[in-house]
Amino acid sequence: MEPVKVGLLGLGTVGGGTINVLKRNRDEITRRAGREVKIVIASARNVNKKRNFSTAGISLTTDPFAVVNRTDIDVVVELIGGTELTLELVLQAIQNGKHVVTANKALIAIHGNEIFAAASNKGVMVAFEAAVAGGIPIIKALREGLAGNKIEWLAGIINGTGNFILTEMRDKGSHFADVLAQAQALGYAEADPAFDVEGIDAAHKLTILAAIAFGIPLQFEKAYTEGIASITREDVDNAAELGYRIKHLGIARHVDHGIELRVHPTLIPDRRLIANVDGVMNAVLVQGDAVGPTLYYGAGAGADPTASAVVADIVDVVRSLTADPENRVPHLAFQPDTLSDVPILSVEEITTAYYLRIHVMDKPGVLADITRCLADQSISIEAMIQKEENEESKTVPIILLTHRLQEKQMIIAIQNIEALNSVVGKVTRIRLEHLIAD
């Protein structure tokens, strides 16, 4: 049987990893797919650049459209990144009847609805396992392995850069800015780290996971994002004292009146497995009504881990080449005409618990005033610590953990607390999740 011919867009880290994995595991992949998989052409900005992998037997071009328009290509693998050029390339590939494999989370999160509709019309597949959590097969787990469940919620550490920073802050007592510089020096963070530390990258991935988990259209623009730049060493230490760790989580939860879709720093109990995922590793915790909680852990980035997911998608495409398009696994797990219009909730409507750090003047009645502000919004306190006086500011830090409540209640309570004469500066607020079945 003729090999399945693949065109590769991009010869960067993941492109090189994909070539290496396909060559190293050629026999095993052929046995699994039923046909040999062969990369015959690849595009790159500089085809003469010295690389640490071999491109022998692969035609090289600087024109990516030469790849998607080549008539003998069966599958186009997009590993360029970005959204404008890649959207044009992917749609052209689909129009040409090519199957597409991509690791591009931004492309899928922002333009996936359009891409999947085009693919359905042409009867081709778009596979994107590598777009979320690198080598962890979380897309397949949600779409196929958990197909018998109603997914209640999921929570993920899905950005390795942010997780590395928070781990170093906890383990070494470092400040955010110092660890960020270290992450940049190690190549974990870009020169402009906003995508990672502000939660945008995680929100792209969470958007995809939520669509598959709940059978809704991709709605990245409705995801709430909050970064980790404001997390201090003091907050990390306080969380540890209370039995928690701070993680930058993506959380999607199906509640009675809609879906919570949010990325933000979160306190979670230190006994939870996901709380012990450190460094650049990723993990996703999924709660299904039948199976209960399941945890998926592994490398969220890197050449070989991401290439593992890319090649797995290629194998899936090869296996389905002779299948009736109507009987393939749907892109977003649910049949396209059954996607739900359940609303995405605003952040004011979410329900969670909170960690509060409040700096106050050391005088009588302060604590009573604060608890009254909370009680006025029906907020109950789970735990409280009063720290020693700060000699420089002459203020006393008070740490509070609350029970679950709606965010809009907390917004009002914080405004009222900050208006008190005895309170100095802004109240630090970090959301808290126990990550157990409700």
Catalytic residue among 98, 105, 140, 205: 205
Return the sign of the alpha-carbon dihedral for residues 103, 100, 116, 32. Answer: negative
Residues 6+ apart with CB under 8 A from 8: 15, 18, 19, 39, 41, 42, 43, 58, 67, 77, 79
Which of 224, 212, 193, 271 minimizes the C-alpha distance to 436? 271
Distance CA(114)–CA(435), nearest Å, equals 34
Q: Tell me, what DSSP letter sits at residue 346?
A: P
CB distance 122 to 98 below 8 Å: no
Q: Is 205 in the active site?
A: yes
Distance CA(9)–CA(78), nearest Å, equals 5
Token pair of 335 as six digits = 């049949």
Cα 119 to Cα 75, 86, 94, distances in angstroms: 13, 15, 6
CB distance 270 to 241 below 8 Å: no
Distance CA(393)–CA(397), nearest Å, equals 10
Residue 392, φ and ψ in degrees, nearest 5: -75, -50
The catalytic residue positions are: 205
